[in-house]
Amino acid sequence: MNKKFEGILFTLLLILGCINGYSGEAKGWGTAINGVQLSVNYTNNFIEVGSTTNISVCVTNSSANSVMVFPGNNGGTFKVYITDRSGNTYKISPEMSDPGIVLAVFPPIFIDPRQSHKWMVSVTVGKDIKPGNYMLKATQSIYVGRKSFDITSNMLPVYIKSD
């Protein structure tokens, strides 16, 4: 084999190993509300100030009823926060410009009993956030018929680093 081909093959195998190595499996769950739980996960616990990254969110339904989630575009209705040691909390998920339009265009996802559903959510750490240690969590509204309730995920440590 020539060196160029070996290099390309090695790079492809490395990329495939990284993709397959990320399971996206939950590292813990938030408190169950009416049998429904939310989990957040990430591939890297470092986020650079001013950058955007993706986190995995998963809703699991242990109740006897189907539940609805209105995720919007790319999980846009999930709210993701980071909190520092002083208790200062920053929302790092995008704002929805018009939730009614988003919810009308993107139909709800139904999660049946004993089922789960995952999304990737983009988050951005603004330049106004100071580097340091934070705890990351997500929240989401869940619907059973016309009744809604909010669920909160597990909390994961994240380090915000300067650019």
- At residue 70, the pLDDT reads 83
pLDDT, tens only, 25-56: 556 899 999 999 999 999 889 999 999 999 99
- At residue 95, the pLDDT reads 77
- At residue 29, the pLDDT reads 96
Overall average pLDDT of the 108-112 stretch? 92
- At residue 136, the pLDDT reads 97
Neighbouring CB atoms inside 10 A of 146's CB total 5
Query: Does the domain made of 24-161 have the CATH classification 3.30.420.40?
Result: no
User: Is 90 exceeded by the pLDDT of residue 72?
Assistant: no
User: Is 50 exceeded by the pLDDT of residue 18?
Assistant: no
